[in-house]
Structure 1
Amino acid sequence: MTACAECGFEYDLATAPEVPALARGLAGEYADLLRASPAALRRRPAPRVWSPLEYACHVRDVLLVQRERTLAARRRETPVAEPMGREERVDHDGYAAQHPAGVARQLHDAAMLFAHVLERLPPADWERTLIYTYPEPAERSLRWLAVHTHHELRHHLQDMRRQLPPPGAAGAA
C-alpha cells in the first residue's frame, strides 16, 4: 500500500522518525474532538459504522497494540503481529459506554508510550521486521509499522470529524 484511496494518506517510509511527534500532536486533536456532547460522540450514523467515541477507543487500542508489536520485533526475529480483534473489542471493551474525557487521557498516554518506544529505536532497528497480518500477511519493517500507525491516527480522525459538528458550532459541546 502506498496511498489510502479513502483519506489520501501517502505512505512515505522516510517519515517514520517523525511519527512520535506526529502521534503526540494528533492525540491532542482527538482530545479536542472528544469534548463534543456525549450524545454526538456515541451516535452511530449507520448500524455498521462506528461512532466517534468508538473510533477514539479503537485508536487508543491501536497505539497500545502497535507499541507491543514494536517491542516484540525488537526482542524476536520476525514475530507475527497477531490480529488485535478490532471488531470484537468494540463490544468486549464496551467502547460506546466509555467516558470521553477518560478516553482522551488514555489516548494521550497511549500516544506517549508509542512515541517513546519509537524514539528509542536505534537506526538499524527501524529495518527489523514482523509479519503484519492485515489486510493479508506480509513482512513489514518497523519503519512501515510507524507510518501505518500514523495513517490510522489520521484516517480515524477524519472519520470522527465527518460525524461531529465543527468545534464551536451549535451542538458541538
Structure 2
Amino acid sequence: MTDAPSPHRTAPAPPAADTKDWTWVLERPCPECGFVAADVAVDDIGPAVRDLVPRWRAALARPDVRDRPRPQTWSVLEYGAHVRDVNHVFAGRLAAMLDDDDPQFADWDQDAAALAGEYWSQDPARVADELATAALALADLFDAVPADALDRPGRRSNGSRFTVRTLGQYYLHDVVHHTHDVGA
C-alpha cells in the first residue's frame, strides 16, 4: 500500500508574478499599508523588526494559516515563509554592502523561491521559529551598522541603487507590508 499524498504537497495556483519595482516606497508613502519609508532611521529598524516577530508568531499559529483568501493570493503560511526568506536575502545584501564597495546583489525571484521551497507545504510552527531567528539576526545586524556606513552603496541587477539607509527602509517596508497583508 502506498501512502496517500499529503493534501499540502500539491502546488496551489501560483499568484500573478509581482513585477512592480517597489523602490518607489522610498519616495512616497505606501497607499496600501500606510508605511512611510523616508521617516525610518536606521536605528529604528532593529526594534521595529523585533516588534513584528510576535505578530508573525501569532499569525502563523492561526487555524486557517494554510487557507488562501483568494486562489492567487498567498496564505499566511506562504507569506510567513516569504518573510523568513526576505530576512535571509536582506542579511546577505546588508553584509555585502558593509564588506564590499558597491556590490551588485544576486537576483532573487520570490515567486521561484516560493515554488522551489513549497511554501504552502511547510510546517507553520517551524516557519515561525525560522522567521523569528532570521528576523532577530537581521535586526542585530542593523543595530550594529556604524554611523559612517549609512551611505555605503549597493545595487540590484536592474540598476536600482541603495545605500545602507535606503536598503533598510526598503526592507522594513517589505516586512511591514506583508504583516499588513495577513492582518497581523
Q: Structure 1 length as normaliser, TM-score? A: 0.85
Q: Flag structure 1 segments of 5+ consecutive residues without an equivalent.
A: 163-173
Farther-moved stretch of structure 1 (122-131 vs 1-10): 1-10
Distance 1:13 1:63 in 2: 21
RMSD: 1.5
- Aligned-partner Cα distance in 1 for 2:108–2:40: 26
- Amino acid of the structure 2 residue aligned with 1:160: V
User: Is the 8 Å Cα contact of residues 127 and 142 (structure 1) preserved in structure 2?
Assistant: yes
Partner AA of 2:67 in structure 1: R
Assess if the C-alpha contact under 8 Å between 1:129 and 1:140 holds in 2: yes
- Structure 1 residue 14, shift from structure 2 partner: 4.7
Q: Distance in 1 between matches of 2:137 and 2:93?
A: 13
Name the SS for the 2:150 alignment partner: helix
Matches within 5 A, 1:122-161: 122-133=146-157, 137-161=159-183
- The question of 1:33 aligning with 2:55 is answered no
**For 2:161, what is the secondary structure of its paired residue?**
strand
Inter-partner Cα distance in structure 2 for 1:138 and 1:149: 14
Count of aligned positions: 158
- Superposed CA offset, 1:24-55 (max 9, x none): 11011100111101xx1111222321111100
| Cα shift readout 1:2-40 (whole Å, capped 9, x = no counterpart) | 221221211125522110011011011100111101xx1
| 1:23 alignment counterpart | 49
Displacement of 1:104 in angstroms is: 0.7
Unaligned regions of 5+ residues in structure 2, if any?
1-23
Say which one has the larger Rg: 2
Aligned partner of 1:137: which letter? G
Partner of 1:42: 66
**Alpha carbons of 1:14 and 1:51: their partners in 2 closer, same or farther (altered >3 Å)?**
closer
Q: CA deviation at 1:58?
A: 0.5
Task: Please tell me whether residue 70 in structure 1 is matched to residue 99 in structure 2.
Answer: no
TM (norm. structure 2) is: 0.81
* 2:178 alignment partner, SS class: helix
3-state secondary structure, aligned to 2:95: helix
The alignment partner of 2:41 has SS state of helix
Partner of 2:15: none
Is the CA contact (8 Å cut-off) linking 1:13 and 1:143 kept in structure 2? no
State the alpha-carbon separation in 1 of the partners of residues 161 and 170 from structure 2: 13
Q: Which amino acid aligns with 2:156?
A: Y
Residue 150 of structure 1 and its aligned partner are, at CA, apart by 1.2
1:83 aligned to 100, 107, 132, which one? Answer: 107
CA contact 1:13–1:144 (8 Å) conserved in 2 = no
Letter in 2 for 1:112: L
